[in-house]
Amino acid sequence: MISIGFITIKLAYAVSGLLVGLLVGMTGVGGGSLMTPLLMLVFGMHPSTAVGTDLLFASVTKTVGTTIHSAGKTVDWQIVARLAAGSVPATILTLLVIAHAGVNSKHVTDAISWTLGVVLVISAVSLLFKDWIIARASNRYPSLRLHSPVWMTVLVGLVLGVLVSLTSVGAGALGTIALLLLYPKLPIVKIVGSDIAHAVPLTLLAGLGHWYLGTINFLILESLLAGSVPGIILGSLFARRAPDRVMKVILGAILAVVGVKMLAK
């Protein structure tokens, strides 16, 4: 443990933040997918606290990413607004359900663990077979290439709102795949930028809700950010040399293993 002024950094959490930051910087996804199960499985944190802490962690890191993408004009704010139209009410409703059931109740704990495991496995499949999934969907539903109804984007936002509020996972890999299917003609950089921009209000709103519910450990949050910020910077630099395909396969395999472990828990 290291104390810097009023900030106390726990090395184990800082190192974890560093490692996750490196992976996120190199692959663009994996923050919530790795951090929440890491806090639960390695550090034994209560599921609700792990989710709440990771949500604020994600909102801070993705704010930086959004600033960079916005400056580079790689955010489609119309898509962000459509996603938010579904995710914001879904997030509020999900938080109300969690509050009604009780954050420490067995029902909520089991729901978080089970849903997290399922979402991790789906995220892993999405990463490993992204091109195949998009090709199959495009062939089966060719009309998506011409015009994607607004309601479909709102529906994607709604699903992401529920998943992210409950597990803190889904805004990265699943959100990107969904947008690639709905907007195949949009440059990939705008898909990524729009997904990251939407993740900021989504994770912030969900994180503030969990803060109200008392499920955030700020001491651990400080330590995670102390490691993740330099980790993301280094990872972004390494990404220029690391083979993207190899990194995505490694990350996909990790998510699959962790997801199965969560389901068997």
- The residue that leads in pLDDT, 236 or 123, is 123
Predicted model pTM: 0.81
* Calpha distance 13→144 (Å, rounded): 43
Confidence (pLDDT) at 42: 87
**Phi, psi dihedral angles at 264 (to 5 degrees):** -85, -5
Confidence (pLDDT) at 12: 87
Confidence (pLDDT) at 71: 63
pLDDT (average), residues 240-244: 61
Confidence (pLDDT) at 5: 44
Confidence (pLDDT) at 6: 42
Sorted by sequence, the CB contacts under 8 Å of residue 4 that are 6+ apart come out as none
Q: Look at the chain and count its residues.
A: 265
Confidence (pLDDT) at 143: 64
* Calpha distance 136→223 (Å, rounded): 43
Angle at 94 between CA 90 and CA 97, to 5 degrees: 145
Characterise 214 by phi-psi region: left (phi > 0), alpha (psi -120 to 50), beta (else). left
pLDDT (average), residues 3-21: 73
Residue 51 pLDDT exceeds 70: yes
* Calpha distance 209→230 (Å, rounded): 28
Angle at 29 between CA 216 and CA 125, to 5 degrees: 110
Question: How many domains, in total, are found in the chain?
Answer: 1
Confidence (pLDDT) at 88: 95
* Calpha distance 130→124 (Å, rounded): 10
* Calpha distance 214→103 (Å, rounded): 9
pLDDT (average), residues 240-253: 68
pLDDT (average), residues 232-252: 68
- The residue that leads in pLDDT, 258 or 143, is 258
Q: Which among 34, 54, 53, 12 has a CA at the least distance from the CA of 235?
A: 34
**Phi, psi dihedral angles at 183 (to 5 degrees):** -130, 65
Mean pLDDT: which of 12-26, 60-74, 114-128, 212-226 is highest?
Answer: 212-226
- Mean of all residue pLDDT scores within the chain: 81
Half-sphere exposure of 33 (CA within 13 A, CB side): 32
Confidence (pLDDT) at 236: 65
Confidence (pLDDT) at 205: 92
Confidence of residue 156 (pLDDT cuts 50, 70, 90): very high
Domain of 41 in residue numbering reads as: 2-263
What Rg, from alpha-carbon coordinates, does the chain have? 18
